[in-house]
């Protein structure tokens, strides 16, 4: 049973860039931004401190078919800039919903975003501003999953909440295989040994080293995020 008191004080919400595109797989859909802002407002109204890491796959992905002939470092830099576009779109949606926010970038672009400074990010969170972390880690060869874990550790988040299109972690893609079954809970090593595509190995290992739990859940379903922060069992939890 959940109460009206959040069980987490500070969370890191990880979203893919594709989540902003919906069924079209590319671009940014205003209705999805509005849904995202409404869901986040529900938990900030409870006093929960929220950091967000967003991917850029709806605009450009360094490992995509389009980038196959490109230099990997150049492609990853383009992917980082795609996350900045998404982060600014999320900020606009949040502030239209009455939620104060800041965009902090791992690469300097002061006209658009603040540089990531750990103590400043924590201070923003303490002031109940949503902090949107963009440009990944600022380094090529690292995914936004790894960036999410890194930022979560740096801001001392209680948990990472990874929003997806499905309601947890399955042994196979439930959108392709009808007999796929869902795990209610997993250990970090289970994820690695079973080769489950939750996050990349670097991200999972960093979570394990810092004992940072992860919940994978369906972000598209209204109120799921709210229920999780109030303690309801939603999705799949990965922990030690």
Q: Which residues contribute to the annotated binding site for ATP?
A: 14-17, 57, 61, 164, 170, 173
Q: Which residues contact 151 (CB under 8 A, 6 or more apart)?
A: 12, 51, 53, 121, 133, 157
Contact between 48 and 102 under an 8 Å Cβ cutoff? The reply is no
In angstroms, the Cα distances linking 14 to 96, 111, 162 are: 21, 25, 5
Calculate the alpha carbon distances from 52 to 26, 132, 169 in Å: 20, 5, 21
State the Cα torsion 236-64-77-37 to the nearest 10°.
Answer: -40
* Encoded tokens for 183: 């795990």
Annotated binding-site positions: 14-17, 56-57, 61, 76, 137-144, 164, 170, 173
**Which residues are known binding-site members for UMP?**
56, 76, 137-144
Q: Is 186 exposed, middle or buried (0-12, 13-18, 19+ CB in 10 A)?
A: buried
């Amino acid at each position: 049973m959940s109460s009206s008191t959040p069980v987490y004080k500070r969370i890191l919400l990880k979203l893919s860039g594709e989540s902003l595109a919906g069924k079209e797989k590319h671009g940014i859909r205003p209705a999805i931004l509005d849904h995202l802002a409404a869901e986040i407002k529900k938990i900030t109204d409870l006093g929960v401190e929220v950091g967000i890491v967003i991917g850029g796959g709806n605009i450009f992905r360094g490992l995509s078919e389009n980038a196959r002939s490109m230099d990997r470092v150049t492609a990853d830099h383009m992917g980082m800039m795609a996350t900045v576009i998404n982060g600014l779109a999320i900020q606009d949606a949040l502030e239209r919903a009455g939620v104060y926010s800041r965009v902090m970038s791992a690469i300097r672009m002061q006209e658009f975003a603040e540089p990531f400074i750990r103590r400043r990010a924590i201070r923003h969170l303490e002031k109940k501003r949503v902090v949107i972390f963009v440009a990944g880690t600022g380094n090529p060869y690292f995914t936004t999953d790894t960036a999410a874990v890194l930022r979560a550790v740096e801001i001392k988040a209680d948990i990472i909440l990874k929003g997806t299109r499905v309601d947890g972690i399955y042994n196979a893609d439930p959108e392709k295989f009808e007999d796929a079954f869902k795990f209610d809970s997993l250990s970090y090593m289970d994820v690695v040994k079973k080769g489950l595509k939750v996050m990349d190995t670097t991200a999972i290992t960093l979570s394990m080293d810092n004992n940072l739990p992860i919940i994978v859940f369906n972000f598209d379903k209204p109120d799921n995020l709210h229920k999780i922060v109030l303690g309801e069992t939603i999705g799949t939890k990965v922990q030690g």
